[in-house]
Chains A and B, each alone.
Chain A
Amino acid sequence: MLYVLGREKLDNWLAFLEKKARLFVPGKEKFEPYQGNITFESKPLLSPKEFFLPPREPMLSFEVTPGAFPEKLSPSPDERIIFGVRACDAYALTLIKKVYQEDVFFSLRYKNTSLIGKACLAESTDCFCWAMGIDPFSGSGLDLLFLEKDEKLLLKPITEKGKTLVPVEAKEALPEDKALFNEIAKNFLKNKNPSPSLLRLKEKDLMTIYNASFWEKLSFACLNCGICTFLCPTCYCFDVHDEVVGEKGLRIRVPDSCMFLLYTQHASGHNPRRSPLARFRNRFMHKFKYFLDEYGEPLCVGCGRCNTNCPAGINLWEIIQAMGEV
């Protein structure tokens, strides 16, 4: 099913969505609550992962007195709609979901959030979803996908929930609109194939890649900061932390980064991944080998955030290629 909405009705659509649930739209740095204006030229720096694995997920609340029973907390059940999500970011959530299926926090947040995706019309030089084997027009992970073309919005509901997000003003699409949609989708993927390195990686022996000599050279520039992991829409590691102020305490889940020294540090001081190289290697091995072996696809959606924001100039492709060529 495909619907058409005039571009000028966009504000009406947003107003309609705002009535249904808390509405978030893309800003420059992160998704922000809708306040009457919207731009979607580029992806926000922080992906919608922030809504599902938030920077602060309270799990328990307690009084710091012996014998006190903690109170179990769960995310607020309020419905949310995130508007203008890119296909890559939405696909990332389906990857995280493979691991987090049984996690109560993630599941509840996933259930309560609707994602409205915006189709990318032109390829950008920074990102490469297709190289990771993702079809951005499949709408995977989204509830509704829309495409902006010549003063027209073409709306394609993906899920049952997505159908309820179509505004009343939207009309059923004519055959020529459908053809247009299909053509744009087809053109986008023309000459764009999944990276051959990825296919090669599937067959490579894990320990050969792990012990390869290129890691030393490629990891040299890395500062082991957490930019790539925190901006990555697929990185899902977390840390559990007890916050106490006075008598009140809260056990929270916060995002963690495998680039940090503390990530693997035992209480005894022993650290299995003490060297910066080991931590660097672990991140890419997880994304492009461990996850690939377990689930058949890499833990990367090609959004390009890590490449553009890395202060040390590390590039994902160099590493994938090196891994594929060992």
Chain B
Amino acid sequence: MYPVPARIEKIRVETEDGLIKSFYLRLLEEKPFVHKPGQFAMLSVLGKGECPIGIASSPKEELLMFSVFRTGLVTDALHRLSEGMVIGLRGPMGNGYPVESFCGKNIVLIAGGFAVTTLRATLLYLLENRKDFGQITMIYGARSPGLLLYRDELKAWQKRKDLNLYLTVDREVAGWDGLVGFVPQITEKIAPSGKESVALVCGPPIMIKFTLPILEKLGFSPQDIYLSLENKMRCGLGLCRHCNVGPALVCKDGPVFTLAQLKRLPQEY
């Protein structure tokens, strides 16, 4: 329950509305921090509290990176901090994506809005170990071009031959020459095959609701569709029970669940 101090090395404003900032952290303790894509950590600002944030950096990157959406007490306080300040960090927590089991399969990453963070970590991991996986497709949508995260990296990824990246925005905007439309429709249009494939879906509930039937239609079995949940959380250790979804705890058993698992759980997320 004790956080480890971490220094903010760099802060980057990700979106044009300024509501999402990425924090690059360096741990001030010698203990190694080993995480898997899809895991999260508790960031704490003394005097305000703690909140769980998905780890957006890949395990190989030197600095830990968290992209934080400004919404509550702690994230608000985080956004007021500047480079060089120290915050607390606990983690890594949760199960993460079972990336080892994806070997040899085609992978479809579907992200909406700022939920892309842990999928960035996953994508980086996949690209680092590119030869282990089949086709990699990523569909990423936001309300407007200015709300897409990691825009520099997106540009670089678009150039890559071994990755099919589809970017989409909800409405036509001047200067945007990419796809237009909601993520579920784009997914339907691109129609990645569900054979020998896994899908990782991360986004707002409404996007998930409409994307899942399409994926099932494309032949993805519920065991191969991975979703990442978030719930209010206090300890991250499976003690406080704030994050329970029926018998499962998002902090210990999750945050990554397969659709097959979620179908057996009450809808408390």
Contact = CB atoms under 8 A, between A and B. Distances in A.
Interface residues of B, number: 41
A67 B246 contact: no
A289 B241 contact: no
A267 B264 contact: no
A234 to B, nearest CB: 12
A326 to B, nearest CB: 14
Contacts of B26: none
B240 A238 contact: yes
Interface string B1-36: 111010000000000000000000000000000000
Contacts of B157: none
B179 interface: no
B234 A240 contact: yes
Nearest to B81: A66
Contacts of B186: none
Contact of B240 (A64, A239, A266): A239
Q: B interface, by DSSP: helix, strand, loop or mixed?
A: loop
A240 B47 contact: no
Interface residues of A, number: 48
A258 B266 CA distance: 16
Contacts of B239: 99-100, 103, 236, 238
B75 interface: yes
Nearest to A205: B264
Interface in A15-44: none
A273 B47 contact: no
A200 interface: no
Contacts of A64: 46-47
B232 A266 contact: yes
Contacts of B235: 238, 240
B203 to A, nearest CB: 14
Interface string B150-161: 000000000000
A263 to B, nearest CB: 6
A108 to B, nearest CB: 12
Interface in A229-248: 236-242, 244
A69 B247 contact: no
A285 B248 CA distance: 12
Output the residue of A59, A62, A69, A267 with the most chain B CB within 10 A.
A267
B51 A267 contact: yes
Contact of B1 (A99, A104, A293): A104
Given A207-B266, A268-B71, A237 B88 contact: no
B126 to A, nearest CB: 29
A265 B232 contact: yes
Nearest to B249: A290
B242 interface: yes
22 contacts: A60-B3, A64-B47, A66-B86, A100-B239, A103-B237, A105-B1, A236-B241, A237-B240, A237-B241, A237-B242, A239-B234, A239-B240, A251-B44, A256-B240, A258-B241, A263-B232, A272-B245, A282-B244, A285-B246, A289-B247, A290-B244, A293-B247
Interface of A: 59-60, 62, 64, 66-70, 72, 99-100, 102-105, 206-207, 210, 236-242, 244, 249, 251, 253, 256, 258, 263-268, 272-273, 278, 282, 285-286, 289-290, 293-294
Interface of B: 1-3, 5, 44, 46-51, 71-75, 81, 84-86, 88, 230-232, 234-235, 237-242, 244-247, 264, 266-269
Given A59-B2, A253-B1, A267-B51, 11 more contacts: A62-B47, A69-B5, A103-B1, A238-B240, A240-B240, A249-B46, A263-B242, A282-B244, A285-B246, A289-B247, A290-B246
